[in-house]
Structure 1
Amino acid sequence: MAKEELNAFLGSNTVYEGKLVFEGSVHIDGKFTGEITSEGTLVIGKGAVVDGTFNVGELMLSGQLTGDVVAKRRVVVHSSGVLEGRLRTPSLLTEEGGIIEGQITMRAPAQRPEQPKD
């Protein structure tokens, strides 16, 4: 993962409901319910519980996530991570102990057809 600016940190005693849009990176250790949209990186810490719809550049999961996830670049499910729901990403890494329960779709981003050279 490229070094991105950490724009927000939702601590372990934080409960948030709603819509979150960000650039860079956001780290959640608390509870979140809602929708997250970003081209950046979403980091879900070991004690975090999140539920909703997630459309991000990258997802780093160490906690529990329930919902629909679209990650444009990649998803990493660490050994303590649990993902329940639908996942779409071109690249997936699951460490031993990580759990994915649901539907996974992995497709490379659409490639443009080559243009004929004159």
Structure 2
Amino acid sequence: MANSAAEMNALLGRGSEFEGKLTFEGTVRIDGKFNGEVHSEDTLIIGEGARVKAEISVANVVVYGDVTGNITATVAVELHAPARLKGNITAPQLIVDNGVVFDGNCQMSSGKSKRQAEIREIAAAAAPESGSDTVDSIDAPIITTVEPAIV
């Protein structure tokens, strides 16, 4: 994930306050106070000392500050000390450092539907043009068996 200031599109600095709906592309960092909603298909960084009270829906979120509200991420949520989160998380990947305070629930989405879409695309490209119904049968669940390792 992008962390350098050179790659950031916007910054809400320390001492700044904003209330409303934030929609953005690229990487945005909040170091001040924010109250409202955040929507993006990219990365949100909540810096140490930041206070965010929001419903957050982004691809990636990296948290060092205080967040009150639910976070939905399509890629990953990272909680780094001294982060404090009071709310629920929905994401396929969650990273939590020692020293983080998380008060809420986490639902790990499997990403299965995205994987099935990728398989459909591959099968459609490889399928003969005669209208074979092989691609339609891919809607069945993908089952993976993992054998326990003997140590």
TM value normalised by structure 1:
0.92
Q: Using the alignment, how far apart are the partners of 1:96 and 1:47 within structure 2? A: 18
The 5 Å alignment of 1:103-114 reads 103-109=105-111, 110=113, 111-112=115-116, 114=119
Q: Is the contact made by 2:41 and 2:58 (CA closer than 8 Å) also made in structure 1?
A: yes
Q: Using the alignment, how far apart are the partners of 2:94 and 2:61 within structure 1? A: 10
Residues 36-87 of structure 1, C-alpha deviation per residue, up to 9 Å, x if partnerless? 0001110000000000110001000000001011011001100111111111
Q: Which runs of 5+ in 1 are unaligned?
A: none
Q: Determine what percentage of the aligned residue pairs are the same residue.
A: 38
Q: Which runs of 5+ in 2 are unaligned?
A: 129-151
What is the one-letter code of the residue matched to 2:86?
Answer: E
Inter-CA distance 67–74: structure 2 relative to 1 (3 Å threshold): same
The 5 Å alignment of 1:39-54 reads 39-54=41-56
Q: Which has the larger radius of gyration?
A: 2
Shift of 1:108: 1.9
Segments of 4+ moved more than 2 angstroms: 2-5, 113-118
What is the one-letter code of the residue matched to 2:92?
Answer: P
Structure of higher RCO (CA pairs closer than 8 Å, 6+ residues apart): 1
Deviates further, 100-109 or 19-28 = 100-109
Give the count of matched residue pairs.
118
Bigger helix share: 2
Instruction: Give the aligned CA root-mean-square deviation in angstroms.
Output: 1.7
Inter-CA distance 95–3: structure 2 relative to 1 (3 Å threshold): closer
